[in-house]
Amino acid sequence: MNTVEYLKLGWCELCLNVADLERSLGFYRKLGFNEIEVATDEGWAVLEHANLVLALYRGHIKENLINFRGGDVFKIAEELKSSGLELADEAHIEEDGSAGFTIRDPDGNAIYFNTHPGEGEV
């Protein structure tokens, strides 16, 4: 463990782009995941097992995402830019009113920061 005070990115959800939500739900239920929230009519579900929060999306995302939620998105974007990192897009307000931006790690994995109004900083 190092002792650097770290950015509060929020909590993490792993978001999977699924082709068939019911099929994926059936699979992860068999693995013993607990359902946190399921909105099959809207094409998404959030499940959990141990420390993994898994969000399944059909038709909402183009690729799997590491998603941090609940942080101060605009502040995080500024701090990452100050440290020399390049964002994939600028922090902005999404159509649903949440704040968001994306950054890619050196191998191209997408990390999406997204916080809805009322989602507190953790």
Which positions lie near a copy of itself, rule CB under 8 A?
Answer: 1-2, 4, 6-12, 14, 16-20, 23-24, 27-36, 49-53, 64, 66, 68, 80, 83-85, 103, 105-107, 109, 111, 122
Cβ proximity to a copy of itself: between 30 and 95 the closer is 30
CB of 39 to a copy of itself, least distance (A): 15
Residues in contact with 65: Cβ distance below 8 Å, sequence separation at least 6, in sequence order:
14, 15, 102, 110, 111, 112
Q: Which of 4, 102, 111 is nearest to 66 (CA)?
A: 111
Is the distance from CB of 105 to CB of 115 less than 8 angstroms? no
Q: Rounded CA gap, 22 and 42, in Å? A: 12
Give the amino acid at 97: G
Cβ proximity to a copy of itself: between 78 and 105 the closer is 105
CB of 88 to a copy of itself, least distance (A): 13
Cβ proximity to a copy of itself: between 82 and 95 the closer is 82
